[in-house]
Amino acid sequence: MHSSSDAAVMEAHWGGGAAPFGASWQKTMMWIFIVTDGLLFSGLLCGYAFLRHISPVPWPRQSEVFSIPFIALMTFILITSSMTMGTAVTAARLGDRPRAIRNLAFTVFGGLCFLGCQAYEWSHLIHEGARLTSNPWGPPQFAQTFFVLTGFHGSHVFSGLVILIITLIRTLMGKTPAQGVEMAGLYWHFVDLVWVFIFTLFYLL
């Protein structure tokens, strides 16, 4: 038996209706998209873990293949861009347009730096002999998972940048409402969130 207060809580949280999550339809749809996209990365990371687990050849030590300080710099750039994005979202909500524009521009700059770093890392590893079918350090799955994971993430950073640039231009023109900046921000933070998992599971463990 539920008490009436329990029932009220359940009704408030699970009651459905026009806004089951207490959010606008735009935000709800954005979150559903993020969950589905999160499942894509979850699948890729599970596949990576599994391939590594069953690999008959020892997995190479990442610090001997990658420059970990360089990867740390990429992480720093992405975390910083998330901070500026959060600031832009709040500024847009509070009607502080100059601050929102400034922080959106910083975020775009951070995203460009991150993509530049990733392009450098890819070209460096390819130059050293990393291919989808083989690599000089260990099992072929090592380079395969590297290219697939960072490639998928990089493509998300790229699409996030396109969204951010459009949002920035529209904000400069005064056409994007605060909610538009918030949606772009949610996607950008998601990209940062995925990197947290890739950084830990692929580069450090």
Question: What residue ranges bind other proteins (CB under 8 A)?
Answer: 13-14, 20-23, 28, 31, 34-35, 38-39, 42-43, 45-47, 49-50, 54, 63, 68, 72, 75-76, 79-80, 82-83, 85-87, 90-91, 93-94, 185-186, 189-190, 192-193, 196-197, 200-201, 204-205
The SS3 call for residue 2 is coil
Nearer to other proteins, 163 or 201 (CB): 201
- Asked if residues 148 and 128 have their Cβ atoms less than 8 Å apart, the reply is no
Q: Least distance from C-beta 173 to other proteins, angstroms?
A: 24
Nearer to other proteins, 91 or 108 (CB): 91
Distance CA 91, CA 33 (A): 25
Contacts of 109 (CB under 8 A, 6+ apart): 81
Q: Least distance from C-beta 43 to other proteins, angstroms?
A: 6
Nearer to other proteins, 33 or 122 (CB): 33
DSSP 58: P
Distance CA 43, CA 51 (A): 12
Nearer to other proteins, 125 or 198 (CB): 198
Nearer to other proteins, 92 or 168 (CB): 92
Q: Least distance from C-beta 89 to other proteins, angstroms?
A: 8
Distance CA 17, CA 173 (A): 36
For tokens 């709800």, the residue is 28
- Asked if residues 198 and 154 have their Cβ atoms less than 8 Å apart, the reply is no
